[in-house]
């Protein structure tokens, strides 16, 4: 009865009675339109007037058609499409800028940041700069956009979406520092590169975003490319090729060493190895694995906040989220400075800006801009594909190093960049590539490696046996 009364009220109203082009019409005209629209509109589906004129047969259409009229949606979609670039285009732009920032950051930090400066103080000021830049970018979008971004903002919601990732990043930094002090660089880099895989796992657990078989394979390609680009995995070790000079040096070292020296060294190594292995595992491997997982977890939480539950990019404003994350990160850093006795004494004696110059602000500002880009990449591309931008940054780092230090790129950097591009292509176009083509390519790649490796091993058998 209530529904019938509502429909009769709409019939009597001239304002709410609309024609085919969303124009107000009178009662008689509305009756004609209702009769003419007795069939479905081929462009817009079930007609609006059929739901109104025949409530007993189309009651379930009334609320839906009143809230989202097709003609209204038709005017919104072209406006959004004509507003600017698509989400994929924005993701590509921000990923390119992030790769560029990642490439130039080490050189700027080495050149303009003094070793005497307090590290926690440097990061604290960097978070303040990041907060300021994000606020400027947010205001530059216009007052209407800013009001929409902060509409319904509460500190409780802010702490929920940004406080937890900020605390996780702080724990990650502590674990990474502990692991770096107790592991060699090769082991640390290998385990640290699993953060992209952990990001994919956490995105699946938190957001329900799974990965296809091809995407999983592309992530493994990304993992291998990062190891090769960083020099952790050498191509000579893969294909079994070594320089003759290196073999001669190894033989000379073996001849010079005596049996007595070897026995003494072995005894010392056996005594220390038990303690070192236990410390290496508990204080090195576990912390770096935990740091890698926390990185993926924090990235997935940030992606959920920025993209929304559905992951469509309609979540929290990126600049606002960066400001919130910087605020809580600064609080965590301030508490860590207060809790560290060495930092307290250093700041009391020398001040917070000891070892600073005006040029110190250059790497801090660039790194702060990189933090804003991380938020934009996470929003438009996701935390998993952010890893591809960082791999591209590794290759660009080699290019900048070759230009500034006049050093040629190594084979590992070339091969790693090619693998990264292949992995990125497979991950982005996984729905367009057939699985049989992928596995055929894998088999061909394995066969090529076997063919390249076999003659080298046959030539080097004598050398290997003599060295043994």
Among the ranges given (50-64, 260-274, 391-405), the one the predictor scored with the smallest mean pLDDT: 50-64
Q: How many residues does the chain have?
A: 468
What sign does the CA torsion over 253, 255, 256, 261 have?
positive
The mean pLDDT of 219-228, rounded to a whole number, is: 77
Q: Give me the chain's average pLDDT, please.
A: 69
Among the listed residues 43, 398, 443, 12, the one whose alpha carbon sits nearest the alpha carbon of residue 217: 443
DSSP of 210-272: ---HHHHHHHHHHHHHHHHHHTSS-HHHHHT---HHHHHHHHHHHHHS-HHHHHHHHHHHHHH
| pLDDT band at 455; cut points 50, 70, 90 | very low
- Longest CA–CA separation in the chain, Å: 113
Among the ranges given (12-26, 75-89, 139-153), the one the predictor scored with the smallest mean pLDDT: 12-26
d(CA 249, CA 323): 56
What sign does the CA torsion over 334, 338, 339, 343 have?
positive
| pLDDT tens digits, one per residue of 80-114 | 333 456 777 888 888 889 888 888 887 788 788 88
Q: 3-class SS at 18?
A: strand
Greater confidence (380 vs 37) lies with 380
∠ CA 277-281-286 to the nearest 5 degrees?
175
Total-model pTM: 0.58
Give percent above pLDDT 70 in the chain.
59
| pLDDT tens digits, one per residue of 110-130 | 788 887 888 778 888 888 999
Greater confidence (166 vs 310) lies with 166
- Has residue 466 got a pLDDT over 80? no
Dihedral angle, C-alpha 66, 68, 73, 75, nearest 10 °: 40
- Has residue 57 got a pLDDT over 60? no
Number of Cβ within a 10 Å radius of residue 62: 17
- Has residue 54 got a pLDDT over 60? no
């Amino acid at each position: 009865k209530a529904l019938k009364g509502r429909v009769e009220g709409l019939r009597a109203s001239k304002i709410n009675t609309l024609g085919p082009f969303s124009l107000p019409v009178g009662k008689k005209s509305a009756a004609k339109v209702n009769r003419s629209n007795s069939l479905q509109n081929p462009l817009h589906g079930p007609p609006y007037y059929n739901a109104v004129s025949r409530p007993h047969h189309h009651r379930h259409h009334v609320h839906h058609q009143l809230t989202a009229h097709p003609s209204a949606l038709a005017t919104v979609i072209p406006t959004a499409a004509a507003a600017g670039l698509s989400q994929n285009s924005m993701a590509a732009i921000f990923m390119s800028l992030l790769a560029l920032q990642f490439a130039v950051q080490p050189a700027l930090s080495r050149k303009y940041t003094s070793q005497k400066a307090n590290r926690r103080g440097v990061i604290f000021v960097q978070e303040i700069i990041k907060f300021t830049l994000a606020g400027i970018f947010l205001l530059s979008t216009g007052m209407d956009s800013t009001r929409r971004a902060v509409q319904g903002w509460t500190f409780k919601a802010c702490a929920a979406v940004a406080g937890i990732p900020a605390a996780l990043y702080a724990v990650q930094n502590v674990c990474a520092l502990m692991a770096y002090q107790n592991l060699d660089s090769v082991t640390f880099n290998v385990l640290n590169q699993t953060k992209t895989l952990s990001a994919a796992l956490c995105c699946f657990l938190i957001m329900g975003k799974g990965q296809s078989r091809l995407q999983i394979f592309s992530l493994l390609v990304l993992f291998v490319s990062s190891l090769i680009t960083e020099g952790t995995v050498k191509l000579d070790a893969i294909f079994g090729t070594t320089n003759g000079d290196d073999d001669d040096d190894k033989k000379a070292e073996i001849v010079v060493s005596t049996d007595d020296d070897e026995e003494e060294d072995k005894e010392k190594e056996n005594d220390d190895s038990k303690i070192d292995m236990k410390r290496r595992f508990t204080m090195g491997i576990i912390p770096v694995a935990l740091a890698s997982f926390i990185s993926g977890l924090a990235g997935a939480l940030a992606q959920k906040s920025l993209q929304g539950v559905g992951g469509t990019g309609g979540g929290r404003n990126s600049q606002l989220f960066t400001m919130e994350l910087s605020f809580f990160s600064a609080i965590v850093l301030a508490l860590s400075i207060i809790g560290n006795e060495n930092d307290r004494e250093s700041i009391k004696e020398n001040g917070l800006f000891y070892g600073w110059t005006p040029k110190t602000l250059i790497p801090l500002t660039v790194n702060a801009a990189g933090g804003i880009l991380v938020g934009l990449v996470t929003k438009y591309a996701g935390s998993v594909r952010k890893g591809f931008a960082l791999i591209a940054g590794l290759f660009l780092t080699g290019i900048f190093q070759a230009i500034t230090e006049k050093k040629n790129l190594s084979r590992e950097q070339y091969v790693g960049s090619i693998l990264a591009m292949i992995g990125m292509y497979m991950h982005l176009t996984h729905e367009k590539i057939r699985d049989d083509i992928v596995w055929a390519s894998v088999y061909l790649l394995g066969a090529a490696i076997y063919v390249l490796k076999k003659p080298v091993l046959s030539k080097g058998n004598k050398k290997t046996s003599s060295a043994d």
